[in-house]
Amino acid sequence: MSLLANQVAVVTGAGRGIGRAIALKFAAEGADVACISRTAENAGKIAGEVRALGRKAWAWAVDVGNASDVAAAAEKILADAGRVDILVNNAGITRDGLLMRMSESDWDAVLDTNLKGAFLFNKAFARAFVRQRSGRILNISSVIGLIGNAGQANYAASKAALIGFTKSVARELASRGITVNAIAPGFVETDMTAVLNEQIRGELLKTIPLGAFGQPDDIAQAALFLASPAARYITGQVLTVDGGMVM
Protein backbone atom coordinates (compact mmCIF):
# COMPACT_ATOMS: atom_id res chain seq x y z
CA MET A 1 0.00 0.00 0.00
CA SER A 2 1.22 3.51 -0.79
CA LEU A 3 2.60 5.42 2.21
CA LEU A 4 0.34 8.43 1.69
CA ALA A 5 -2.69 6.78 0.12
CA ASN A 6 -5.65 9.15 -0.28
CA GLN A 7 -4.06 11.93 1.75
CA VAL A 8 -4.02 15.59 0.70
CA ALA A 9 -0.76 17.54 0.82
CA VAL A 10 -0.13 21.26 0.39
CA VAL A 11 3.36 22.12 -0.87
CA THR A 12 4.53 25.72 -1.13
CA GLY A 13 7.34 26.58 -3.53
CA ALA A 14 6.24 23.54 -5.52
CA GLY A 15 7.11 24.92 -8.93
CA ARG A 16 10.73 23.82 -9.03
CA GLY A 17 13.66 22.29 -7.19
CA ILE A 18 13.01 20.76 -3.78
CA GLY A 19 9.32 21.67 -3.74
CA ARG A 20 8.72 20.02 -7.09
CA ALA A 21 10.55 16.88 -5.96
CA ILE A 22 8.45 16.70 -2.79
CA ALA A 23 5.18 17.19 -4.67
CA LEU A 24 6.03 14.41 -7.10
CA LYS A 25 7.29 12.07 -4.38
CA PHE A 26 4.09 12.52 -2.39
CA ALA A 27 1.95 11.97 -5.48
CA ALA A 28 3.87 8.80 -6.33
CA GLU A 29 3.01 7.56 -2.83
CA GLY A 30 -0.71 8.17 -3.25
CA ALA A 31 -1.27 11.79 -2.14
CA ASP A 32 -3.30 14.44 -3.91
CA VAL A 33 -1.34 17.70 -3.98
CA ALA A 34 -2.21 21.38 -3.80
CA CYS A 35 0.70 22.98 -5.65
CA ILE A 36 1.57 26.50 -4.50
CA SER A 37 3.98 28.66 -6.49
CA ARG A 38 4.59 32.35 -6.98
CA THR A 39 3.53 32.13 -10.64
CA ALA A 40 0.49 30.50 -12.21
CA GLU A 41 2.71 29.01 -14.90
CA ASN A 42 4.93 27.12 -12.46
CA ALA A 43 1.99 26.04 -10.29
CA GLY A 44 0.11 24.76 -13.32
CA LYS A 45 3.10 22.86 -14.66
CA ILE A 46 3.74 20.88 -11.49
CA ALA A 47 0.02 20.26 -11.02
CA GLY A 48 0.01 18.71 -14.49
CA GLU A 49 2.91 16.45 -13.52
CA VAL A 50 1.04 15.33 -10.40
CA ARG A 51 -2.06 14.53 -12.45
CA ALA A 52 0.09 12.52 -14.85
CA LEU A 53 0.87 10.26 -11.88
CA GLY A 54 -2.86 9.59 -11.48
CA ARG A 55 -3.49 11.91 -8.53
CA LYS A 56 -5.65 15.00 -8.10
CA ALA A 57 -3.86 18.34 -8.11
CA TRP A 58 -4.74 21.97 -7.56
CA ALA A 59 -2.62 24.87 -8.81
CA TRP A 60 -2.41 28.15 -6.94
CA ALA A 61 -0.30 31.24 -7.60
CA VAL A 62 0.23 32.75 -4.15
CA ASP A 63 2.48 35.37 -2.62
CA VAL A 64 3.17 33.38 0.55
CA GLY A 65 4.04 36.55 2.47
CA ASN A 66 0.61 38.09 1.80
CA ALA A 67 -1.88 37.19 4.53
CA SER A 68 -5.04 37.70 2.46
CA ASP A 69 -3.65 35.65 -0.46
CA VAL A 70 -2.73 32.77 1.85
CA ALA A 71 -6.07 32.81 3.67
CA ALA A 72 -8.01 32.78 0.40
CA ALA A 73 -5.95 29.92 -1.01
CA ALA A 74 -6.27 27.86 2.17
CA GLU A 75 -10.04 28.34 2.27
CA LYS A 76 -10.40 27.24 -1.36
CA ILE A 77 -8.08 24.26 -0.93
CA LEU A 78 -10.07 23.01 2.06
CA ALA A 79 -13.32 23.51 0.15
CA ASP A 80 -12.08 21.71 -2.98
CA ALA A 81 -10.11 18.90 -1.32
CA GLY A 82 -12.29 18.42 1.74
CA ARG A 83 -9.32 18.11 4.09
CA VAL A 84 -5.56 18.60 4.32
CA ASP A 85 -3.30 16.01 5.94
CA ILE A 86 0.19 17.33 5.18
CA LEU A 87 1.59 20.85 4.91
CA VAL A 88 5.08 21.46 3.53
CA ASN A 89 6.38 25.02 3.87
CA ASN A 90 9.13 25.05 1.28
CA ALA A 91 8.80 28.45 -0.42
CA GLY A 92 12.06 30.35 -0.09
CA ILE A 93 14.18 33.03 -1.75
CA THR A 94 17.62 34.57 -1.35
CA ARG A 95 18.72 38.19 -1.61
CA ASP A 96 22.40 37.86 -0.75
CA GLY A 97 24.70 40.69 0.25
CA LEU A 98 27.07 41.73 2.98
CA LEU A 99 25.37 43.22 6.02
CA MET A 100 26.77 46.74 5.47
CA ARG A 101 25.35 46.77 1.95
CA MET A 102 22.11 44.87 2.52
CA SER A 103 19.01 46.93 1.84
CA GLU A 104 16.00 46.89 4.11
CA SER A 105 13.89 45.73 1.18
CA ASP A 106 16.15 42.69 0.65
CA TRP A 107 15.93 41.86 4.34
CA ASP A 108 12.15 42.18 4.34
CA ALA A 109 11.65 40.17 1.14
CA VAL A 110 13.57 37.18 2.48
CA LEU A 111 11.93 37.22 5.92
CA ASP A 112 8.46 37.67 4.41
CA THR A 113 8.82 34.68 2.10
CA ASN A 114 10.92 32.29 4.15
CA LEU A 115 9.54 32.92 7.64
CA LYS A 116 6.28 34.86 7.47
CA GLY A 117 5.09 32.59 4.67
CA ALA A 118 5.47 29.54 6.92
CA PHE A 119 3.70 31.36 9.76
CA LEU A 120 0.76 32.28 7.52
CA PHE A 121 0.31 28.79 6.08
CA ASN A 122 0.68 27.08 9.47
CA LYS A 123 -1.93 29.44 10.90
CA ALA A 124 -4.25 28.99 7.92
CA PHE A 125 -4.44 25.20 8.31
CA ALA A 126 -3.94 24.81 12.08
CA ARG A 127 -7.66 24.83 12.91
CA ALA A 128 -8.36 22.14 10.31
CA PHE A 129 -5.59 19.96 11.70
CA VAL A 130 -6.84 20.47 15.26
CA ARG A 131 -10.42 19.59 14.30
CA GLN A 132 -9.37 16.34 12.66
CA ARG A 133 -6.83 15.65 15.44
CA SER A 134 -4.12 14.72 12.97
CA GLY A 135 -1.66 16.32 10.60
CA ARG A 136 1.93 16.52 9.48
CA ILE A 137 3.67 19.88 9.13
CA LEU A 138 7.14 20.11 7.57
CA ASN A 139 9.08 23.36 7.47
CA ILE A 140 12.04 23.43 5.09
CA SER A 141 14.89 25.23 6.85
CA SER A 142 18.58 25.08 5.83
CA VAL A 143 22.00 24.25 7.22
CA ILE A 144 22.65 27.98 6.85
CA GLY A 145 20.17 28.48 9.67
CA LEU A 146 22.40 26.27 11.83
CA ILE A 147 25.87 27.55 10.93
CA GLY A 148 25.34 30.94 9.27
CA ASN A 149 27.04 32.14 6.11
CA ALA A 150 28.77 35.38 5.18
CA GLY A 151 26.60 37.45 2.85
CA GLN A 152 23.41 35.69 3.91
CA ALA A 153 22.43 37.34 7.18
CA ASN A 154 18.82 37.67 6.02
CA TYR A 155 18.58 34.09 4.74
CA ALA A 156 20.32 32.62 7.81
CA ALA A 157 18.07 34.62 10.14
CA SER A 158 14.94 33.40 8.36
CA LYS A 159 16.00 29.76 8.39
CA ALA A 160 17.21 29.82 12.01
CA ALA A 161 13.96 31.45 13.09
CA LEU A 162 12.05 28.76 11.21
CA ILE A 163 13.64 26.13 13.46
CA GLY A 164 12.53 27.95 16.61
CA PHE A 165 9.09 28.41 15.09
CA THR A 166 8.93 24.67 14.33
CA LYS A 167 9.73 23.68 17.90
CA SER A 168 7.22 26.11 19.38
CA VAL A 169 4.37 25.04 17.09
CA ALA A 170 5.24 21.39 17.72
CA ARG A 171 4.69 21.96 21.43
CA GLU A 172 1.39 23.75 20.80
CA LEU A 173 -0.09 21.08 18.54
CA ALA A 174 1.32 17.83 19.93
CA SER A 175 -1.64 17.13 22.20
CA ARG A 176 -3.87 17.01 19.11
CA GLY A 177 -1.81 14.35 17.37
CA ILE A 178 -0.14 16.80 14.99
CA THR A 179 3.59 16.55 14.35
CA VAL A 180 5.71 19.51 13.29
CA ASN A 181 9.27 19.00 12.08
CA ALA A 182 11.92 20.80 10.06
CA ILE A 183 14.31 19.61 7.39
CA ALA A 184 17.63 21.42 6.99
CA PRO A 185 19.02 20.71 3.52
CA GLY A 186 22.67 21.31 2.75
CA PHE A 187 23.79 22.40 -0.70
CA VAL A 188 21.40 20.84 -3.20
CA GLU A 189 21.48 20.97 -6.99
CA THR A 190 18.70 23.51 -7.64
CA ASP A 191 18.31 26.85 -9.42
CA MET A 192 19.70 28.52 -6.27
CA THR A 193 23.02 26.66 -6.52
CA ALA A 194 23.18 26.62 -10.32
CA VAL A 195 24.33 30.26 -10.32
CA LEU A 196 27.49 29.45 -8.33
CA ASN A 197 30.72 29.56 -10.31
CA GLU A 198 33.11 26.60 -10.42
CA GLN A 199 35.52 28.08 -7.90
CA ILE A 200 32.80 28.54 -5.29
CA ARG A 201 31.38 25.09 -6.03
CA GLY A 202 34.81 23.59 -5.53
CA GLU A 203 35.27 25.33 -2.19
CA LEU A 204 31.83 24.22 -1.04
CA LEU A 205 32.51 20.60 -1.96
CA LYS A 206 35.52 20.63 0.37
CA THR A 207 33.14 21.27 3.29
CA ILE A 208 30.92 18.27 2.48
CA PRO A 209 32.32 14.96 3.81
CA LEU A 210 30.38 12.92 1.25
CA GLY A 211 32.02 15.03 -1.48
CA ALA A 212 28.94 15.87 -3.54
CA PHE A 213 25.98 18.22 -3.63
CA GLY A 214 22.63 16.71 -2.74
CA GLN A 215 19.78 16.16 -5.15
CA PRO A 216 16.21 17.41 -4.68
CA ASP A 217 15.09 13.80 -4.33
CA ASP A 218 17.31 13.41 -1.24
CA ILE A 219 15.19 16.04 0.49
CA ALA A 220 11.97 14.59 -0.89
CA GLN A 221 12.83 11.20 0.61
CA ALA A 222 13.33 12.80 4.02
CA ALA A 223 10.04 14.67 3.67
CA LEU A 224 8.25 11.45 2.74
CA PHE A 225 9.56 9.75 5.87
CA LEU A 226 8.48 12.59 8.16
CA ALA A 227 5.05 12.74 6.51
CA SER A 228 4.53 8.99 6.71
CA PRO A 229 3.13 6.80 9.51
CA ALA A 230 6.71 5.71 10.27
CA ALA A 231 7.36 9.14 11.84
CA ARG A 232 4.25 9.25 14.04
CA TYR A 233 6.37 9.61 17.23
CA ILE A 234 8.74 12.30 15.93
CA THR A 235 7.97 15.97 16.48
CA GLY A 236 9.84 19.21 17.09
CA GLN A 237 12.96 17.85 15.40
CA VAL A 238 15.37 19.10 12.74
CA LEU A 239 16.49 16.50 10.21
CA THR A 240 19.70 17.66 8.57
CA VAL A 241 20.22 16.30 5.03
CA ASP A 242 23.59 17.71 4.05
CA GLY A 243 26.16 15.05 3.21
CA GLY A 244 27.76 15.51 6.64
CA MET A 245 28.37 19.28 6.57
CA VAL A 246 26.90 19.84 10.02
CA MET A 247 27.86 17.17 12.54
The total of other beta-carbon atoms located within 10 Å of residue 212's CB is 10
- H or E element that contains 103: none
Backbone angles phi, psi at 140, to 5 degrees: -90, 105
Sheet holding 32-37, edge to edge: 57-61, 32-37, 8-12, 86-89, 135-140, 178-185, 238-241
Give, in order, the Cα–Cα distances in Å from 213 to each of 124, 203, 205, 241: 34, 12, 7, 11
Give the whole-angstrom CA distance, residue 162 versus residue 165: 5
Asked if 138 and 87 count as a contact pair (C-beta separation under 8 A), the reply is yes
Q: Which residues are catalytic?
A: 155
